[in-house]
A and B are shown apart, each in its own frame.
Chain A
Amino acid sequence: AQSVTQPDIHITVSEGASLELRCNYSYGATPYLFWYVQSPGQGLQLLLKYFSGDTLVQGIKGFEAEFKRSQSSFNLRKPSVHWSDAAEYFCAVVLTGRNNAGNMLTFGGGTRLMVKP
């Protein structure tokens, strides 16, 4: 079964500092990869996605993520964090391939980002 791991439950950074949120997945097939953000009381908003091609993808709000097949990782980065970035971030994966007709979107447990002034 596919699984998605976000090793950091909480992360605190200072405003203006850089950010990296980790995401690892565990299966050998070619994945589709996503990052979502959830602000308090809100639904999930798609930040960026990777399907194929360039392994460094740009998203909204100044976020980017890099797919590294050798490390089974898809870490989210931002060069300079703003106070409004405080939220919960979820990595998600879709297993593709002929034997995976469902193409289910599976989420990690999330990382809560807090931003210090």
Chain B
Amino acid sequence: EAGVAQSPRYKIIEKRQSVAFWCNPISGHATLYWYQQILGQGPKLLIQFQNNGVVDDSQLPKDRFSAERLKGVDSTLKIQPAKLEDSAVYLCASSLDRGQSAFFGQGTRLTVV
């Protein structure tokens, strides 16, 4: 069974530039999550989708971050404009349904300089 796919693996951008991350969840998984993991910390949930609807985005900095899951499968997370403090690993995960075991991709390491 294919796992959660994320791209790119690494990205370096200058502050005030924009960046986008892509995630393809495990086939059939209704729930998709985006997490931000700053070095030395645990993952922090940014947004959770159930199919193509947003379940929770209370910790998403909406002035600069946006995410979509238009057809209930793939998802993109965008940052515009990026700040230095956005440097982190962005993890995508999916689960069959809410509350079930979540499976994670390898993440995208973003460095903002």
Interface residues of A (CB under 8 A from B): 4, 6, 32, 34, 36, 41-46, 49, 90, 94, 96, 101-110
- Contact at B91–A102, with CB atoms within 8 Å? no
- Contact at A102–B98, with CB atoms within 8 Å? yes
Give the contact stretch, choosing among B37-45, B68-76, B80-88. Answer: B37-45
CB distance from B68 to the nearest CB of A (A): 18
Instruction: Please name the residue on chain B nearest to A109 by beta carbon.
Output: B42
In the assembled complex, the Cα of A102 lies from the Cα of B45 at a distance in Å of 12
In the assembled complex, the Cα of A4 lies from the Cα of B101 at a distance in Å of 17
Q: What are 20 A-B contacts defined by CB distance under 8 Å? A: A4-B42, A6-B42, A32-B99, A43-B91, A43-B106, A43-B107, A44-B93, A49-B101, A90-B42, A101-B98, A103-B98, A104-B45, A104-B48, A104-B56, A105-B45, A107-B42, A107-B44, A108-B42, A109-B41, A110-B42
Q: Is B33 an interface residue (CB 8 A)?
A: yes
Interface residues of B (CB under 8 A from A): 4, 33, 35, 41-45, 48, 55-56, 91, 93, 98-99, 101-107
Question: Residue among B43, B55, B93 with the most chain A CB within 10 A?
Answer: B43
- Contact at A102–B56, with CB atoms within 8 Å? yes
Instruction: Please name the residue on chain B nearest to A90 by beta carbon.
Output: B42
* Residues on the A chain within 8 Å of B41, using CB: 109-110
- Contact at A107–B43, with CB atoms within 8 Å? yes
CB distance from B34 to the nearest CB of A (A): 12
CB distance from A29 to the nearest CB of B (A): 12
- Contact at A43–B105, with CB atoms within 8 Å? yes
